[in-house]
Amino acid sequence: MRIDLEKILTGKITDLPTLKSRLRSWQNAGEKVVFTNGVFDLLHIGHITYLAKAAELGDKLIIGLNADSSVKRIKGESRPVNDQNSRAALLAALFFVDAIVVFEEDTPLNLISTLLPDILVKGADYAVENIVGAKEVIANGGEVKTINFVEGYSSTSIIERIRKQIT
């Protein structure tokens, strides 16, 4: 069996207008669409577990991925370690991810307000009332859910461990 990686990646990594149309067709077919977002700089078991649990909440999983410029503003000049194209490709390679859209803003509010997914998901370190886009999703009849993180895994802590080992 031959895997056409380019076809998989180009089919999942998309822009907002294309994704909006795709999302509407999924919803019209009765499929529940789940949305989450993040930086996903160094993909690790914590990310995989979180995303797999998010995917289980519905039929389609969309990831809003912070663009490099957004990551620099949020995490600092030394981040991201991996550029947005590499991060998007890694996420697209996950079988349970259906679409990835990169956003330049610091928050995904515009994405969420445009897409209005059925379920908005964030980590359990967020209170529902503080989740960006929660009001918009709930007002549209959707749900907001949180998922517990796998303890001890974060890109920041992995990067710090690497820095300590090389100094």
Averaged pLDDT in 10-residue chunks for the chain of 167 residues = 66 96 98 97 90 98 97 92 94 96 97 98 88 97 91 63 72
Domain 5-166 listed as CATH 3.90.1150.10 = no
| pLDDT (0 to 100) of residue 153 | 59
Query: CB atoms < 10 A from the CB of 144, how many?
Result: 19
H or E, element range at 14? strand 13-14
| pLDDT (0 to 100) of residue 42 | 85
Strands 60-66 and 13-14, by their bridges, are unpaired
- pTM for the whole thing? 0.89
| pLDDT (0 to 100) of residue 84 | 96
Residues 96-129: b if buried by 16+ CB within 10 A, e if exposed: ebbbbbbbeeeebeebbeebbbbbbbbeeeeeee
